[in-house]
Amino acid sequence: MTHAATAPATTVPPGSAKASAPLLYQVRSLYKSFGTFQALKSIDLTVPTGSTTVLIGPSGSGKSTLLRCLNLLEPINEGSILFNNQEIGTVVRDAYRIRRQVAMVFQNFELFQHLSAVENIMLAPMKVKGVPRLEAHDRALALLEKVRIPDKADSYPDELSGGQQQRVAIARALAMDPMAMLYDEPTSALDPEMIREVLDVMTELSQGGMTSICVTHELAFARRAADQIVFMEQGEVVEARPTEQFFSGTGSPRTRAFLDQILH
Amino acid sequence: MFDSPDLILDYLVSASFLHAAGMTLMITLVSMAWGMLIGLLIALGQEWNRPGLNVLIVAYLWLFRGTPVLFQIIFIFNVLPAMGILFSGFTSAVLALALNEAAYIAEIFRSGIEAVGKGQRTAGRSLGMKNWQVMRHIVLPQALRTVIPPIGNQFLGMLKLSALVSVIGVEDLLLTANQTASANFRYFEALTAAGVFYLAMTTLFMFGQSWLERKVNPRRGNAGATKGKSLTQRLLGMTANTGA
């Protein structure tokens, strides 16, 4: 069994601008277990600044857990996570400081139900960064413009469609000016006709140079936006390759079996 | 037995009844205020989840929910002085009622806090909030909405429970009515007057609860749902839209 990902070098195509970009994330030999269950085994992953990484794999393969480890929502058991050249794998007490620099988007949106769209976006900048209310409000409106729902500023989450909620959630994440966006199956809870509007926003961000790591089953999005694709199974990285190579059909048998399964 | 209806009116505006009603209201409000404060701290303490603290909290809940309030009132008023701690009747009453209430309110707050989805906290943490900020800005505001109806119940319960303090000589509504009646044996008039005061105050509380429920629910006029409807609208069976 070959582990393509054990090579520490980035899998982004050589010669591209992103290949020479500094690494935002450098994960080495990461282990994570829940009780006796080994969720992640010896994970290696490199993410250049400004690149987009898509994590795919069957459910239960550890994709979401890896994502949660990357912003310290889950403490890791072993290994190292270099974020922006700083070791964060051992950070426990000050984890919130790291989380301020990385934003996350969830499968179930998790908008704060008691706040309107614009208030959802304003909350963290005001309470975490101390941004004045008016400034936070202006910024929030601009972000709603960016995700193309400026007219929903005063709507509450239960008045919005799933696609609109997820776009508000993306705006909320962007409001913290993160160095990276982590997406945890952002379109899995959406009706098919709403997936597009969310993916469009994500693609735009990604192409605008936002470092993105996305757990998704949307292969079309992966093809369009990703620089590298990481295939995981049973808590391991089976392979991590540049997008074009990944889809060229030359990958490991396990990858090809998985792709066959979800493409047909 | 009922030959002077005017007497009821006299009682209703008499200084002693008004004073007694004020005392009942005061005991209720002060006890509830302390009960809610201590109850909130206990609920937050349980959230904090420190083994030593948990044992203390469980012991507290066990003690105060496991013995009658009347017992607690009498205990504080009669037993503590023997240990050198002497409180006035009013203070003893409020202390017992507040400590007892806190045990129940703590459970109400705990259920409200737990009803807020785990994902909401994760979302708050992912934005870089500290745990107390997540609690303060995300969990508690949402928990507040779900605990208002049961807290409203507790207010009504406390108003009636406060009648127990008459056993330690606090001049509340019931004791005053009873004493007034025993002077002239006009029980019907005196108790009716007290009952009118009790009902007036509980009615006030119910309107207060309804107002508060609408205030913390930012959206008004959601047709079909009971939320967003005032108490009068609910009583008259109107929808929020037609009532507006």
Q: CB B128 to CB A108 under 8 A? A: no
Measuring CA to CA, which residue among B134, B141, B136, B137 is closest to residue B118?
B134
Q: Is residue A2 within 8 Å of A252, Cβ to Cβ? A: yes
Closest chain B CA to residue A94: B130
Split into its structural domains, chain B has a count of 1
- A30, A177, B206 from A88: Cα distances, Å: 12, 19, 53
Helices first, then strands: H and E counts in chain B = 12, 0
Q: What CATH number corresponds to the domain at position B88?
A: 1.10.3720.10
Closest chain B CA to residue A96: B128
Q: Cβ contacts of residue B138 below 8 Å, gap of 6+?
A: A112, A123, B116, B120, B121, B123, B124, B129
Q: Check residue A126 and give its pLDDT.
A: 97
Of A221 and B233, the one with more pLDDT: A221
Collect all residues of chain A within an 8 Å Cβ-Cβ radius of residue B138.
112, 123
Asked whether residue A12 carries a pLDDT value surpassing 90, the answer given is no
Asked whether residue A3 carries a pLDDT value surpassing 90, the answer given is no
Q: Is residue A173 within 8 Å of A121, Cβ to Cβ? A: no
Q: How many beta carbons lie within 10 A of that of residue B157, not counting itself?
A: 14
Asked whether residue A19 carries a pLDDT value surpassing 80, the answer given is no
For residue A160, give the 3-state DSSP assignment: coil
**Hey, what amino acid is at B96?**
A
Residue where the block lists tokens 């045990």:
B103
State the best of B118, B120, B126, B139 to mutate against chain A, taking most chain A CBs within 10 Å: B126
**Looking at this predicted complex, what is its ipTM?**
0.89
Whether the CA torsion B172, B176, B177, B179 is positive or negative: it is: positive
Task: Average the pLDDT over each of A17-31, A106-120, A161-175, B118-132 and give the range with the smallest value.
Answer: A17-31
Distance CA A178, CA A100 (A): 7
Q: Is residue A40 within 8 Å of A195, Cβ to Cβ? A: no
- A145, B27, B38, B167 from B77: Cα distances, Å: 65, 15, 21, 10
CATH number, span A4-263: 3.40.50.300
- Chain A residues 59-118 with a CB less than 8 Å from chain B: 71, 73, 96-97, 99-104, 106, 108, 110-114, 116
Give the start-to-end residue ranges of the domains of chain A.
4-263
Q: Check residue A17 and give its pLDDT.
A: 54
State the best of A69, A70, A127 to mutate against chain B, taking most chain B CBs within 10 Å: A127
Q: Is residue B210 within 8 Å of B224, Cβ to Cβ? A: no
Task: Average the pLDDT over each of A63-67, A88-92, A142-146, B114-118 and give the range with the smallest value.
Answer: A88-92
- Is A34 in the B-facing interface, judged by CB distances under 8 Å? no
For residue A239, give the 3-state DSSP assignment: strand
Q: What residues make up the domain containing B238?
A: 5-243
Asked whether residue A92 carries a pLDDT value surpassing 60, the answer given is yes
Q: Is residue A147 within 8 Å of A171, Cβ to Cβ? A: yes
Of B100 and A93, the one with more pLDDT: B100
| pTM, to two decimals | 0.85
Asked whether residue A31 carries a pLDDT value surpassing 90, the answer given is yes
Q: Check residue A123 and give its pLDDT.
A: 97
Per-residue confidence in pLDDT tens, chain B, 244 aa: 556 778 888 899 999 999 999 999 999 999 999 999 999 999 999 988 899 999 999 999 999 999 999 999 999 999 988 888 888 999 999 999 999 999 999 999 999 999 999 999 999 999 999 999 999 999 999 999 999 999 999 999 999 999 999 999 999 999 999 999 999 888 999 999 999 999 999 999 999 999 998 888 766 444 334 455 677 777 676 554 444 3
